[in-house]
Structures are given as C-alpha cells and as structure tokens.
Amino acid sequence: MDQQPVGTILDHLLKTYDEAINELRGEVAELRQEVHRARPQAPAPRRATLRIRDVCARSGLSQATIYRL
C-alpha cells in the first residue's frame, strides 16, 4: 500500500476546507443581499413634516413651538 506523506494529506485537507469555507461565505453573502432587498423600506416622511423640520432648522425654534404658532 502506497502511503502519502502526512504533509501532503494535510495540505489537501486544508485546501478542501478552504474551498468549502469560501463557498459557504459566498452563499452567506448572497443570503445577506437577499434579506437586505426583502426588508421593507421605511416610509418617507410626509411633506409637512419635512417643511416643519426645515423651518425649525432655519429659525432655531423647536417643533413644539412651531406647532403652537
């Protein structure tokens, strides 16, 4: 029976494991992208809210003060 040196066997196993790990990393990356695309997007703020924030930023007043006016 022909025996291979231990180093050669270990190199082969290491290469095989590296290939398997890289393959799994690729699958995980694809799944992450799929989950990211499937997440519902937050609704855009209403236009009035954006205008109030703009007025607050320009005037230095709080939103509570703007609502009281």
Determine the Cα–Cα distance for residues 66 and 60; give it in Å rounded to an integer. 10
Position 26 scores a pLDDT of 93
Name the strand (E) or helix (H) holding 1: none
Position 49 scores a pLDDT of 81
pLDDT tens string for the chain (69 positions)? 467 787 889 999 999 999 999 999 999 999 999 988 888 887 777 887 888 888 888 888 888 887 777
**Rama region for 62: left / alpha / beta (φ>0; ψ in -120 to 50; rest):** beta
Position of tokens 């990356």? Answer: 29
This prediction has a pTM of: 0.48
Domain boundaries in the chain? 1-38, 45-69
Enumerate residues 6+ apart whose C-beta is below 8 A from 66.
52, 55, 56, 59
Determine the Cα–Cα distance for residues 53 and 66; give it in Å rounded to an integer. 10
